[in-house]
Structure 1
Amino acid sequence: MALKTATALVAGILLAGCASRYTPTPLPANFPVAKQAKLQAAGHWGVIVDDIEKRIVAELKKSPPRPVFIAEARDPTPFQRALATQLTTSLVNDGHTVSRSPAGSLRVDLDVQALTFAADRPQYRNHGQLASLGAGIWTTRDTPVKLEVASSGGALDTRDTWNAQFAPGETPKTEVIVTVSVSDQYRYVARNTSAYYVADTDRMLYGIIDPLPQEPQLTRIFKVRGDM
């Protein structure tokens, strides 16, 4: 037993010695597990607008009250138009003055950047799924959280509810970065940025126009040189 332990120790030291301490570029590493919401309905747009509005209002309360003016894009996408409309509604319903003119008002700009990443990106949806410890007791695989339920039916409901938090399908290749800025002619008063997944079938709503597939070429032209 002592011989096996010594052999394993020596092997570990040799392997550690083979690992290079210097590399020409940083080694790729994964970020810690995080969740990013996937926009799949107009109702989801309202949810993110409500969150944006709450964060903006929290910053506006730090300064003397002033009306705000929502600056719409010149050629807005359906998503940008909905954001501007719903943000106006949220601010008005919360008692804030939204001006129809920029004069004397804080300007609210909505910037939406749509991005296309590589398709078939890997995902690890099994991370944190529930595992059964016994009758009516479930735990997460990666966190020390135990959930107790009264019956087997309740256990199935608990498992389904846990899994329902993850959007179905592959990881979308489409994402949007939404930045909301509140400013005057001198400074930014409030600003926040959020990123969301977008259903790939809804790319046109966010301003991404995919090129039409090219039709196959059915004829070819040959040039004849010399005497016939």
Structure 2
Amino acid sequence: MALKTATAVAAGILLAGCASRYTPTPLATNFPTTKQAKLQAAYHWGVISDNIEKNIVAQLKKGPPRPVFLNEPKEPSAFQRALTTQLTTSLVNDGYVVSRSPAGSLKIDMDVQAVTFNANRPQYRYHGESAALATGVWVLSEIEAPVLAGVAVGAGAWDSYAWFNAQFAPGATPKTEIIVTVSVSDQFRYVARTTSAYYVADSDRVLYGIIDPEPVDPAQTRIFKVRGDM
């Protein structure tokens, strides 16, 4: 063990000594581990709406009370339509006057920006998996959690493993994300504003207004070369 430790330290010193002190561009590094919610049901849209409403109300309370008007897009996606409806309900239930006309009201605008990254993005979770020690006895090894690391218990350990693993959305990291920005403003200034980002199931892209082009069949594509003057 001591030999392995000494070897690792020596290797670290050697690598540190070889690192370049000057580079033409900043070195690419990873951000600290964070979590981002994945939208998979209409109920999740309601959770988003409630969170947006709480943030907006907290900022609206800083000024005199005024009616608000939700400015729905002309051709809203299913997500935008649901979010507008749920946000209206939350504001009304919290005692705010939601006007059906923009005249004399603060305007609430909603912007949903869809971002598509490269497919097959990496999925980082934790190190270690469950393993059976004996009948009804499982071990959770090398899991980076204070209460679960290296714990071997009875049959209930599988429930603990399933509970720990349930926090992660199934499948690979989606290639689709949306950035939701809700702004409250009048003709002169922004009164409140909130922005948040979410993963979106790639199979549900159409619900967020993302229309993918039809695939082109190479067998039906021909290339013509034009020669001479037109």
Shift of 1:215: 2.2
Which residue does 1:189 correspond to in 2? Answer: 191
Render the CA deviation track for 1:166-223: whole Å, top value 9, x for unaligned.
0001110000000011111111111110000000011111111111112232697999
Render the CA deviation track for 1:135-156: whole Å, top value 9, x for unaligned.
8997983343459x9x834432
Which residue does 1:96 correspond to in 2? Answer: 96
Which residue does 2:168 correspond to in 1? Answer: 166
Asked if structure 1 preserves the Cα contact closer than 8 Å seen for 2:105 and 2:186, the reply is yes
Counterpart-to-counterpart distance in 2, 1:77 and 1:33: 32
Pair 171,144 (structure 1): closer, same or farther in 2 beyond 3 Å: same
- Alignment partner of 2:85: what SS? helix
- Check if 1:106 corresponds to 2:129: no
With normalisation by structure 1, the TM-score equals 0.81
Q: Which amino acid aligns with 1:215?
A: D
Larger radius of gyration: 1
Pair 15,210 (structure 1): closer, same or farther in 2 beyond 3 Å: closer
Q: Percent identity?
A: 71
Asked if structure 2 preserves the Cα contact closer than 8 Å seen for 1:129 and 1:162, the reply is no
Pair 210,17 (structure 1): closer, same or farther in 2 beyond 3 Å: same
Counterpart-to-counterpart distance in 2, 1:220 and 1:109: 45
- Alignment partner of 2:158: what SS? helix
Pair 139,179 (structure 1): closer, same or farther in 2 beyond 3 Å: farther
Pair 216,97 (structure 1): closer, same or farther in 2 beyond 3 Å: same
Pair 119,89 (structure 1): closer, same or farther in 2 beyond 3 Å: same
Pair 18,140 (structure 1): closer, same or farther in 2 beyond 3 Å: closer
Unaligned runs of 5+ in 2: 226-230
Matches within 5 A, 1:11-26: 15-26=15-26
Pair 219,179 (structure 1): closer, same or farther in 2 beyond 3 Å: closer
Count of residue correspondences: 215
Pair 128,90 (structure 1): closer, same or farther in 2 beyond 3 Å: farther
Render the CA deviation track for 1:28-49: whole Å, top value 9, x for unaligned.
1111111111111111111111
Asked if structure 2 preserves the Cα contact closer than 8 Å seen for 1:66 and 1:105, the reply is yes
Matches within 5 A, 1:119-130: 119-126=119-126
Shift of 1:8: 9.3
Unaligned runs of 5+ in 1: 224-228
Render the CA deviation track for 1:86-136: whole Å, top value 9, x for unaligned.
10011111221111111111111110001110001112122598999xx89
- Over the aligned positions, Cα root-mean-square deviation in angstroms equals 3.3
Asked if structure 1 preserves the Cα contact closer than 8 Å seen for 2:67 and 2:105, the reply is yes
Shift of 1:15: 4.6
